[in-house]
Amino acid sequence: MKKDIKRIAVFTSGGDAPGMNAAIRAIVRNAINNDLHIYGVHRGYEGMINGDIRRLETSDVSNIIHRGGTVLKTARSMRFMTPEGRKQAYENLVDNDIDALIAIGGNGTFTGAKTFMAEYPDIPILGLPGTIDNDLFGTDFTIGFDTALNTAVQAVDKIRDTADSHNRLFFVEVMGRHSGYIALHTAIAGGAGGVMLPEEESNIDDLIKLLKRGAKRSKLFSIVIVAEGNHMGTVYDIAHQVSEKIELYDDIKVTVIGHLQRGGSPTAFDRVTASILGFTAVEALLEGKSGMMVGIRNNNVAYTPFADAISKPKTFNKDLLRLAHILAQ
């Protein structure tokens, strides 16, 4: 049944992602445009349990579209995983007369939203995909992925200069415990000599063959992109194994980009994507939609049930992986 919605609360949860502020801004301004009261929950589900909820005005989201991180802050809440924690969160929402929620986050955020809705179905929830990993089913791109990718590529471009100058082999680790999207796109955009992903079984011998093919055409340096969740171990383990089997390079180095990929001013693509999704989420709640992630598929807004977004595997583009391996030769 369609619910009469007058008050919406928005929160960010889990890992931060560049573009979250652009989404918050769009939500707040479109809510006010629709004569709604809009509230911000600080520090995600943890703040919901603590009752850290306050009214937002359009001035609260001025001058934030270019900022990384999230002005609402974020947290990972163990208490929300318990029935007692969710009950306290629900009571705080009721005390603040909150009619609906918009959750910005990833897999864990949507899992929490799905559980919460099963226990308290009178509060509709929509989710926006805010995660740099781009690993959610039902959307081509997630908020923050493009910025993280550009950060990684910029780092690789700088590493290339010193690799070339010293005839070195560099192993560069990027984020992605369960998803290789950042690694694959970084490898292609950065002209890498190899890439190692969670989605592909690989071994040292195959990597050695690839590097030797490059050496045959007088390529005296190389960069290999390693997703942190690859199947061969840590980036340091891989570098050590390669060093014992190959003598093509003057030196072998390791660089872990780490949390640099999480921060920084969001790209124009992430700002526009986040703005579209935030704006649309408000409209969708007023239309009676709930229990869904609002994403982008084939350049159009698409709705995916939370259950599918968090459980179905995102199709990995094998043609893109084949392209990366061919271009690395």
- pLDDT tens-digit map of 2-61: 679 999 999 999 999 999 999 999 999 999 999 999 999 999 999 999 999 999 999 999
Q: Which of 132, 71, 70 is nearest to 107 (CA)?
A: 132
Name which of 86-90, 141-145, 221-225 the model is least confident about: 221-225
> CATH second-level architecture of 148-262?
3-Layer(aba) Sandwich (3.40)
User: DSSP string covering 142-208, please?
Assistant: -BTHHHHHHHHHHHHHHHHHHHHHHTEEEEEEES-SS--HHHHHHHHHTT-SEEE-TTS---HHHHH
Three-state DSSP state, 262? coil
Per residue in 202-219, pLDDT (tens digit) is 888 888 888 887 666 666
CA angle 245, 188, 322 (to 5 degrees): 75
Matching fold, domains 7-144+266-311 and 148-262: yes
Single-letter amino acid code for the residue at 180: G
Comparison of pLDDT for 95 and 215, the residue scoring more = 95
Q: How do the domains of the chain map onto residue ranges?
A: 7-144+266-311, 148-262
Q: Which of 329, 297, 285, 319 is nearest to 129 (CA)?
A: 297
- The reported pLDDT for the residue numbered 217 is 66
Mean pLDDT of 128-147: 97
- Given the residues 16, 99, 122, 133, the one annotated as active site: 133
Comparison of pLDDT for 17 and 325, the residue scoring more = 17
- The reported pLDDT for the residue numbered 23 is 98
Per residue in 222-259, pLDDT (tens digit) is 899 999 999 888 999 999 999 888 877 778 999 999 99
Mean pLDDT of 169-176: 94
At 197, is the pLDDT very low, low, confident or very high (cuts 50, 70, 90)? very high
For the chain, what's the residue count? 329
Q: Which two tokens stand for residue 120?
A: 């308290």
- The reported pLDDT for the residue numbered 203 is 85
Name which of 96-110, 132-146, 313-327 the model is least confident about: 313-327
Would the pLDDT of 165 be above 90? no
According to the CATH classification, is domain 7-144+266-311 in 1.10.150.110?
no
Q: What is the DSSP letter of 130?
A: B
For the whole model, what pTM was predicted? 0.94
Q: Which helix (H) or strand (E) holds 242?
A: helix 235-243
Q: Count CB neighbours of 205 within 10 A.
A: 10
Q: Which helix (H) or strand (E) holds 112?
A: helix 107-119
Q: Which helix (H) or strand (E) holds 223?
A: strand 222-227
The mean pLDDT of the chain is: 94
133 is catalytic: yes
- The reported pLDDT for the residue numbered 102 is 98
